[in-house]
């Protein structure tokens, strides 16, 4: 899970304060105020629905990217395939776990 800090207007403090934003895959999962510790969290069901909704688009974008890579440099593309075939399911499993947990 990726976390980054940024300044946001806190709903409780009512002023701009530093917040930590936690991402699950591509989606904001939780935001915590550093001043008052107030947290806003998106329910796992909502995150999962967003994740599943975006998967077909991501698969289409990946197919387009792979086609472009295969046309641009076929040898490099073929040599990278075994690693990608192994890594992509692992990556998707990690994303799904982040979204659901
Ligand atoms: Zn606050």
**How many other C-beta atoms lie within 10 A of the C-beta of residue 34?**
14
Q: Where are the chain's structural domains?
A: 2-41, 44-100
Distance 79 CA to ligand 1 centre (A): 50
Contact predicate 22/30, CB 8 Å? yes
Distance 21 CA to ligand 1 centre (A): 13
Distance 10 CA to ligand 1 centre (A): 5
C-alpha closest to that of 41 among 52, 27, 53: 27
**pLDDT, tens digit, 9 for 90 and up, residues 60-78:** 999 999 999 999 999 999 9
Confidence tier at 25 by pLDDT (50, 70, 90): confident
DSSP state of 34: T
Output the pTM of the full model: 0.77
Distance 57 CA to ligand 1 centre (A): 36
**pLDDT, tens digit, 9 for 90 and up, residues 49-61:** 999 999 999 999 9
């Amino acid at each position: 899970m990726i976390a980054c800090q940024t300044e946001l207007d806190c709903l409780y403090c009512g002023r701009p304060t530093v917040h930590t934003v936690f991402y699950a895959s591509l989606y904001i999962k939780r935001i915590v105020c550093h001043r008052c510790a107030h947290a806003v969290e998106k329910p796992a069901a909502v995150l999962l629905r967003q994740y599943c909704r975006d998967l077909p688009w991501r698969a289409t974008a990946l197919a387009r990217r792979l086609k472009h890579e295969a046309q641009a440099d076929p040898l490099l593309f073929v040599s990278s395939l075994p690693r990608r075939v192994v890594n992509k399911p692992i990556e998707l499993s990690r994303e799904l776990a982040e979204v659901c947990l």
